[in-house]
Chains A and B, each alone.
Chain A
Amino acid sequence: MTMTFKPDETFRDEFSFNNSDEAILRFPFPFHEDRYMYSVNIEPHVAGGPSDAFQATFDVDEHYVAECRDRALTLAADPLRCQVLPHMQAAEWDTLELLMESLSRDYPQHFRLTRDGEWWTWINGPLGIADRFRFGDASTLPLPPFEYITRQAQGDFCLLDHRDDNLFMDGGMVTSQADWSLDFDLGMSFVEWHAPVPLAHQMGVFDRALQFLLRLQWGKPVRRLNWTMTVNPRLDTSPENYPHWGPDRASITPENVGQKLHLRVELQTLFRLPRSNGVLFGVRCYLIRLDELVRVSKWARRMHRVLQSLPDELAAYKGLARFRGTAVTWLAQYDDGAPTAAGTAAETLAA
C-alpha cells in the first residue's frame, strides 16, 4: 500500500487540513441507523469492517506526519498533556512494545523493529527517527517510553490501572481530545471520569462497560466509535485551551457551515497490556468537513436525520447546541427523504 503523507497541513491557525478522496471513502462513519442513542457498542478490534480505518491495529493515514507535529506543538506549550503516575512503568513498556510491534507488522514500508535480545532498534521512516535502546531501561531512550512512542502515533492514549475491581486513569498522552482534560482526570476511576456524561449512567451503560473491560483479555482487543462535532479542523479542543476554540462555536453561519463544521469521530480501542495487567485505551480522532461528508449521499441523509432527532441533553453535552439548527437546515438540502441503505460504509463519492 502506498501512502502519501501531507506533512504541511495544519490543525490550527490557517487550518489547512483536508481529506483526499481516499480519506473520505475510508472515513469511519459512526451511524448505522438514522438516529443515535448511547449503547455499549463494543466489538472485537480485528481487521475488517466497513472502513479501511479498521484494517490495522493502529491506523496510519495521510495525516500521520502532520498530526505528530501538531502533538509536539501542543506538548511544547503544555507538558502536562502527557503524564504517567510512577506505578505505571510496566504499562509504559507494554505500550511501546505493542505500538512498535503493531506498526512494524502493519506498515513494514514505514516502520521497522529489530530485536537483538534486550537491545532493540526502532526505525520510523516518516518521522526520520532511528534509535537503539535496551528494552526495560528508560535511560537508553531520549524520552520516557510511553511519551517516546505516543509522540509517534496518531490519536490519544490513556493508561488504565486495573485494581480494586475498577480501572483508574493513571497515565496518558492527550492532545487531540474532545473537551476533556487528562490533568483533571488523572487518577480517577472509570465511573468518576465518566460522571459528566448524561443519560448513559441511568441506562447502566457504564456499569456494563466496566464489567466487560475488567475481563478484557490479551490478544482480544475491542473497539467502539464515539462522535461529536468540531468547528474548524482542530485536534486540540481541550478545556485548557477553551478560550482559543470555544468562541468558534458561535461563528457558524448558513454560508460557512459546510466549510467550517466537522464531524469528529473517535475510534476508541482497548487492549489488555500483558506485562502490567493494565489496559491501554486509544482514542483516535478522525475529522471530516460537512461538505466532504455530503459527497457520500447515504452519509448526508443520515447525518441530517441523526442531528435532527438527537435528544437535547446529548446535543448540549456534545456542545452542539449553538449550531445544530444551522447544520440541520444546511444538511436538509442533501436529504431527499429516501430510505438509507443498511451499514455505514461509503458507497460512491460525488464530485
Chain B
Amino acid sequence: MSRNIDRIELRVEAMRDLSPSLKHLRLVPAHGQGQLLAPASAGSHIVLTLRDASRTFRNAYSLTSKPGARDAYEIIVRRVQESRGGSHFIHREIATGAMLEATPPANLFAPVRTARRHLLIAAGVGITPFLSYLPELDALGQPFELHYCARDDEQTCFASWFGERPNAHIYQDIEGHRLDVPALLRAQPVGTQLYVCGPDTLMDHVLASARDLGWPASTLHAERFGAPSGGTAFVVSLARSGFDVHVPGDVSLLDALEAAGVHADSQCRGGACGVCKTSVLEGCPEHRDYFLSAAERSEGRHIMPCVSRAIDERLVLDL
C-alpha cells in the first residue's frame, strides 16, 4: 500500500578509482536482485548518510548514471585533501559491499525541456550533473554545447565520456587554453538556456557575465550543493510542558519534538500548510518555510517546526 518513502538502502556494488582523487561508485538496492530503484531525471542527486564513529555526514552527489536507470545509481566522488568530511570518508572508509543510507533522487537542476538550445558550463567535479544530461539531451534531439574547465586528471578521466562529440570542449588552466566566458556567452543565439556547475568562483563569474549581457534570469541555472536540509544542533525549552528537547543537526525540530513525545499538530511537513505554526517566546528562529509572511518572519514570534530551525542556541516555545 502507499506510504511515504524518505530513505532508501543501497549497497556499494563496485568501486573504482578514476584517478588518485576521483572514485566512481555503483550503488544497487541493498536487498535482493528483484528490487528496482526509482528512476531519476537528468541532473538529479541523492543525499548519502555517512556515519563514522563520532559523526554523521549528509552529502549530496549528482547521479552520473543514465536517466531512468533502475538497476543502479552511479556517483563520482572527489576527495578534497584538506577536508575531513563525507567525501574523505568515502575515499578512506567505504569499500565494495558497504551498505549506505540515502534519500531517493531529487532534482534541483533539471534541463528545460522547452529549450531551443542548451549551453552547459562545468568546472572540476562540477561536471558530474552534466554526465546525465548528455544521454538525455541526445534523446531529446535538442542542440547543446558542453564547455568543461578541467584539471589534468579530470581531463584524462572525462574525455572518454564525451567520445567524439564535436559539441564538447575542454579547457585547461594554461595560458591560451582558458575558457573566455563572456566571449562564449556573446556568441550564443537568443533562447539558449545556460547551466553551470563548479566552484563558486566559476559560477559567480558565469552568472554575472550572463546578467551583464542581458540574459533573462529564467535562462540561468546553477547547481550549488551545500545547502543541507539540516543545520546546527540547538535546544528548545517547552514553556508549558516544562522540559527541554535537544534538536540534533540532522533532525528537524518537528521530528525531535515528536521523538520526545510532544504532540504538535502537523500536516504537510514541508513548510506550506501552516498547521504546525508554533509560538516562539524567546530566541530567534531561522525561517525556512513558505507560509509565514515577510513581516511575520521578521517579528520572529512564530516558527514552522517542520522545516525551520534556530539561529540561537536555544528557543523557548509555547508548547
Query: Which A positions have Cβ atoms within 8 angstroms of B?
Result: 39-47, 55-57, 87-88, 90, 94, 97, 102, 105-106, 136, 161-164, 204, 207-209, 211-212, 215, 217-222, 274-277
* Chain B binding surface, main DSSP class: loop
- Nearest A residue to B107 via CB reads A277
**Which residues of chain B are near A40, meaning CB under 8 Å?**
268, 272-274
**Which residues of chain B are near A207, meaning CB under 8 Å?**
290
- Nearest A residue to B217 via CB reads A164
**Which residues of chain A are near B218, meaning CB under 8 Å?**
164
- Contact between B5 and A212, CB atoms less than 8 A apart: no
CA distance A208 to B292 in the complex (A): 9
Tell me, rounded to whole Å, the shortest Cβ–Cβ distance linking A176 to chain B: 22
- Contact between B270 and A212, CB atoms less than 8 A apart: yes
- Contact between A161 and B269, CB atoms less than 8 A apart: no
- Contact between B272 and A217, CB atoms less than 8 A apart: no
- Nearest A residue to B307 via CB reads A215
- Contact between A218 and B38, CB atoms less than 8 A apart: yes
**Using a CB-CB cutoff of 8 Å, which residues 252-277 of chain B contact chain A?**
267-274
CA distance A175 to B272 in the complex (A): 30
Please name 19 further chain A to chain B contacts, defined as beta carbons within 8 Å, in addition to the given A44-B269, A163-B113, sorted by A numbering: A40-B273, A41-B267, A42-B267, A42-B268, A45-B2, A46-B2, A47-B1, A47-B3, A87-B113, A87-B114, A97-B39, A208-B274, A212-B271, A212-B272, A215-B270, A217-B104, A217-B106, A274-B40, A275-B67
Q: 21 A-B residue contacts at CB 8 Å?
A: A40-B272, A40-B273, A40-B274, A42-B267, A43-B273, A47-B2, A87-B140, A90-B68, A90-B113, A136-B68, A163-B113, A212-B270, A212-B272, A212-B273, A215-B270, A218-B5, A218-B105, A219-B6, A219-B104, A221-B2, A275-B39
How many residues on the B side are at the interface (Cβ–Cβ under 8 A)? 35
Query: Is B112 among interface residues, defined by CB-CB distance under 8 A?
Result: yes
Tell me, rounded to whole Å, the shortest Cβ–Cβ distance linking A139 to chain B: 15
Task: From known contacts A46-B2, A57-B2, A217-B104, infer whether A276 and B273 are also in contact, taking CB-CB under 8 Å.
Answer: no
**Which residues of chain B are near A215, meaning CB under 8 Å?**
270
- Contact between B269 and A90, CB atoms less than 8 A apart: no
CA distance A106 to B1 in the complex (A): 6
CA distance A40 to B6 in the complex (A): 23
Interface string of B106-125 (1 = CB under 8 A from A): 11001011100000000000
Query: Is B4 among interface residues, defined by CB-CB distance under 8 A?
Result: yes
Query: Which B positions have Cβ atoms within 8 angstroms of A?
Result: 1-6, 38-41, 43-44, 67-68, 104-107, 110, 112-114, 140, 218, 267-274, 290-291, 293
A-B contact count (CB 8 A): 104
B44, B104, B273, B293: the one within 8 Å of A42 (CB) = B273
- Contact between B3 and A46, CB atoms less than 8 A apart: yes
- Contact between A219 and B4, CB atoms less than 8 A apart: yes
- Nearest B residue to A55 via CB reads B1
Tell me, rounded to whole Å, the shortest Cβ–Cβ distance linking A80 to chain B: 21
CA distance A221 to B38 in the complex (A): 14
- Contact between A222 and B268, CB atoms less than 8 A apart: yes
Tell me, rounded to whole Å, the shortest Cβ–Cβ distance linking A281 to chain B: 16
* Chain A binding surface, main DSSP class: loop
**Which residues of chain B are near A277, meaning CB under 8 Å?**
41, 43-44, 107, 110
Task: From known contacts A44-B269, A275-B68, A276-B41, infer whether A212 and B290 are also in contact, taking CB-CB under 8 Å.
Answer: yes
B4, B43, B112: the one within 8 Å of A220 (CB) = B4
B38, B43, B273: the one within 8 Å of A274 (CB) = B38
CA distance A105 to B267 in the complex (A): 26
Q: 10 closest pairs, A vs B, by CB?
A: A212-B272, A219-B5, A211-B290, A87-B113, A47-B1, A277-B110, A277-B41, A57-B2, A164-B218, A274-B39
Tell me, rounded to whole Å, the shortest Cβ–Cβ distance linking B221 to chain A: 10
- Contact between B2 and A220, CB atoms less than 8 A apart: no
CA distance A207 to B40 in the complex (A): 27
CA distance A39 to B4 in the complex (A): 23
**Which residues of chain A are near B274, meaning CB under 8 Å?**
39-40, 208
**Which residues of chain A are near B4, meaning CB under 8 Å?**
44, 46, 219-220
CA distance A221 to B5 in the complex (A): 9
**Which residues of chain A are near B68, meaning CB under 8 Å?**
90, 136, 275
- Contact between B41 and A163, CB atoms less than 8 A apart: no
**Which residues of chain A are near B271, meaning CB under 8 Å?**
212
- Nearest B residue to A85 via CB reads B114
- Nearest A residue to B114 via CB reads A87
CA distance A261 to B269 in the complex (A): 37
**Which residues of chain A are near B112, meaning CB under 8 Å?**
163-164
- Nearest A residue to B113 via CB reads A87
A47, A136, A161, A222: the one within 8 Å of B113 (CB) = A161
CA distance A162 to B2 in the complex (A): 24
Tell me, rounded to whole Å, the shortest Cβ–Cβ distance linking B153 to chain A: 32
- Nearest B residue to A219 via CB reads B5
- Contact between B114 and A163, CB atoms less than 8 A apart: yes
**Which residues of chain A are near B272, meaning CB under 8 Å?**
40, 42, 208-209, 211-212
A106, A136, A208, A218: the one within 8 Å of B106 (CB) = A218
- Contact between A41 and B1, CB atoms less than 8 A apart: no
B5, B39, B43, B290: the one within 8 Å of A208 (CB) = B290
- Nearest A residue to B5 via CB reads A219
CA distance A221 to B270 in the complex (A): 12
- Nearest A residue to B142 via CB reads A87
CA distance A97 to B39 in the complex (A): 10
- Contact between A275 and B273, CB atoms less than 8 A apart: no
**Which residues of chain A are near B67, meaning CB under 8 Å?**
275
**Which residues of chain B are near A43, meaning CB under 8 Å?**
267-268, 273
CA distance A47 to B5 in the complex (A): 13
Tell me, rounded to whole Å, the shortest Cβ–Cβ distance linking B112 to chain A: 5
- Contact between B2 and A56, CB atoms less than 8 A apart: yes
- Contact between A56 and B267, CB atoms less than 8 A apart: no
**Which residues of chain B are near A102, meaning CB under 8 Å?**
2
Taking each of A87, A94, A219, which has the highest tally of chain B beta carbons within 10 Å of its own beta carbon?
A219
**Which residues of chain B are near A57, meaning CB under 8 Å?**
2
